[in-house]
């Protein structure tokens, strides 16, 4: 599975919003972070969104992150029905309106009218991208890190859909801890 950073902007932004603004474990207090700088980094793949970003958008994007966290939580326990219901609620409140727009000489599919405010626009984009992935039978490609004290989410783009950790750091920590337990038990 290949993720195209432009075509799958909704997936990439959804993952980053959840990881940065809606942690549930030991990832830290999202309120303590510089939210505007974080949002600028997350939305950097779409420069017009960065230009439109205002401090007043932060609460709405934080609320979106919390709602998307619920989708990932459902998927982490294989509750695709629950995730679908959450996404349907988001799409009902912020429907996607697909249309083609010419950018830099290429036609690109947009999921919102040009005059849509930032939060409703990204709500529609993220919800539609995740819904499209689930609808194509790839809901299991959205995961939550298997390390007990990590709550980060990820998109599994491996060939065999076997990813269990958000990063090699988490994977290595789990493997090292298992190695230490085995060695301690052997003595």
Residue ranges per structural domain of the chain: 9-186
Closest C-alpha to 143, from 155, 129, 160: 155
Identify the pLDDT of residue 14.
Answer: 97
Pick the CATH number of 9-186 from 1.10.3300.10, 3.40.50.10800, 3.40.50.2300, 2.40.110.10: 1.10.3300.10
Which whole number is the average pLDDT over 108-121? 85
Give the DSSP per-residue string, 13-31.
HHHHHHHHH---STT--GG
Which whole number is the average pLDDT over 61-86? 96
In the predicted model, what is the mean pLDDT of the chain?
Answer: 88
**pLDDT tens for residues 33-46?**
678 999 999 999 99
pTM of the model: 0.86
Identify the pLDDT of residue 78.
Answer: 93
Task: Give how far Cα 1 sits from Cα of 62, 116, 158, Å.
Answer: 29, 31, 7
List all residues 6 or more positions away from 179 whose beta carbon is below 8 Å from its beta carbon.
none
Identify the pLDDT of residue 187.
Answer: 67
pLDDT at residue 7 greater than cutoff 90 = no
């Amino acid at each position: 599975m290949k993720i195209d950073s432009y075509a799958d902007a909704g997936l990439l932004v959804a993952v980053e919003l959840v990881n940065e603004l809606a942690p549930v474990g030991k990832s830290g207090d999202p309120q303590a972070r510089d939210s505007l700088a974080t949002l600028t980094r997350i939305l950097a793949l779409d420069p017009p969104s960065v230009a439109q970003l205002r401090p007043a958008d932060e609460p709405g994007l934080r609320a979106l992150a919390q709602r998307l966290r619920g989708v990932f939580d459902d998927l982490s326990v294989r509750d695709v029905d629950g995730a679908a219901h959450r996404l349907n609620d988001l799409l009902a409140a912020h429907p996607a309106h697909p249309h083609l727009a010419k950018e830099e000489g290429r036609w690109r599919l947009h999921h919102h009218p040009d005059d849509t405010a930032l939060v409703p626009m990204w709500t529609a984009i993220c919800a539609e991208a995740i819904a499209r992935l689930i609808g194509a039978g790839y809901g299991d490609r959205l995961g939550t890190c298997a390390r007990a004290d990590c709550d980060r989410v990820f998109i599994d783009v491996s060939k065999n859909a076997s990813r269990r950790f958000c990063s090699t750091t988490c994977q290595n920590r789990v493997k090292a801890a298992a190695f230490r337990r085995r060695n301690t038990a052997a003595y």
